[in-house]
């Protein structure tokens, strides 16, 4: 319930079926309701009080194969969104996309080989404005990750490679944001039952990239973390 935009009911229904010891199928459908934020409506530098709430319906079907410590999952998804909220650099305000659609295939794999754990995902999608076929702003058509973790006694080492395809900064598909690949590494020492020390190096190659035109992302950065997790 919202005093400005009224009430909305959302729901999710899903079902999974074990086809065999190694194969499992699943399907789901759900609805969404997102209201504009206060800044999107009344920001003094780019207000849009005429914004409407975003409503969507999301469907997906998937198939999972598992054997021992290995698992592969392939999912087809189809998200249709009415009045999608999207920022427009040309007007410096958030606007509604009448009919947006994001559909595609996501593939995920994970496996364990002794002390080594590996995982990877590949998402191939088509985020578009249905009225003109343009690619939705700041959304890539390809996203992939590859991660690894190695356990050696009290020590744990790992890293993640992230690749994001090209995007456009504006709904008009100008000001192309180039594809980029980043690498993060970490080492963690569990020096007590409840205490660990972690060193994490983000963007190891000091890659220059932007997720929004004109806004550079952080370069190489080192973080040291002491974590207490009572059991």
φ/ψ of 133, rounded to 5, equals 80, 5
**What are the tens digits of pLDDT across the range 139-157?**
999 999 999 999 999 999 9
**pLDDT for res 130:** 96
Ramachandran assignment for 44, one of left (phi > 0), alpha (psi -120 to 50 degrees), beta (any other)? alpha
d(CA 177, CA 214): 10
d(CA 123, CA 136): 16
Those residues with Cβ within 8 angstroms of residue 153's Cβ, 6 or more apart along the chain or in another chain: none
DSSP, res 41: H
Name the pTM for this structure: 0.90
- Give the N- to C-terminal CA distance of the chain in Å, as an integer: 39
**What are the tens digits of pLDDT across the range 62-107?**
999 999 999 999 999 999 999 999 999 889 999 999 999 999 999 9
Residue 11 has pLDDT above 90, yes or no: yes
Which range (11-15, 175-179, 185-189) has the least confidence? 175-179
**What are the tens digits of pLDDT across the range 19-54?**
999 999 999 999 999 999 999 999 999 999 999 999
Run of H or E including 40: helix 38-42
The string over 90-126, giving b where at least 16 C-beta atoms fall within 10 Å of a residue's C-beta and e elsewhere, is: eeebbbbbeebbbebebebbbeeeeeebebbbbbebe
**pLDDT for res 90:** 87
**What are the tens digits of pLDDT across the range 107-135?**
999 999 999 999 999 999 999 999 999 99
**pLDDT for res 95:** 95
Residue 221: C-alpha distances to residues 72, 164, 201, 212 (Å): 33, 20, 6, 20
Residue 160 has pLDDT above 90, yes or no: yes
Per-residue HEC secondary structure of 54-123 comes to EEEEEEEEEEEEEECCEEEEEEEEEEEEEEEEEEECCCCEEEEEEEEEEEEEEEEEEEEECCEEEEEEEE
Which residue's entry shows tokens 């994490």?
200
Those residues with Cβ within 8 angstroms of residue 179's Cβ, 6 or more apart along the chain or in another chain: 140, 142, 163, 164, 165, 166
């Amino acid at each position: 319930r919202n005093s400005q935009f009224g009430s909305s009911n959302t729901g999710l229904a899903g079902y999974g079926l074990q086809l065999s010891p190694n194969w499992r199928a699943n399907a789901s459908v759900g609805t969404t309701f997102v209201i504009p934020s206060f800044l999107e409506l009344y920001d003094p530098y780019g207000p849009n009080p005429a914004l409407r709430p975003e409503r969507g319906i999301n469907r997906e079907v998937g198939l999972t194969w598992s054997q021992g410590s290995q698992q592969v999952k392939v999912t087809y998804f189809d998200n249709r969104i009415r009045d999608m909220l999207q920022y427009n650099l040309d007007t410096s305000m958030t606007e509604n996309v009448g009919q947006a659609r994001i559909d595609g295939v996501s593939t995920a794999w994970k496996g364990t080989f002794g002390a080594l754990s590996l995982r990877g995902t590949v998402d191939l999608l088509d985020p578009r404005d249905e009225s003109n076929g343009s690619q939705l702003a700041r959304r890539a058509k390809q996203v992939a990750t590859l991660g690894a973790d190695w356990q050696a006694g009290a020590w744990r080492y790992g890293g993640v490679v992230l690749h994001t395809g090209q995007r456009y900064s504006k709904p008009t598909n100008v000001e192309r944001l180039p594809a980029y690949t980043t690498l993060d590494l970490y080492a963690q020492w569990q020096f007590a039952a409840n205490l660990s020390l972690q060193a994490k190096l983000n963007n190891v190659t000091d890659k220059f990239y932007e997720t929004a035109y004109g806004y550079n992302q952080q370069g190489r950065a080192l973080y040291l973390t002491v974590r207490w997790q009572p059991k």
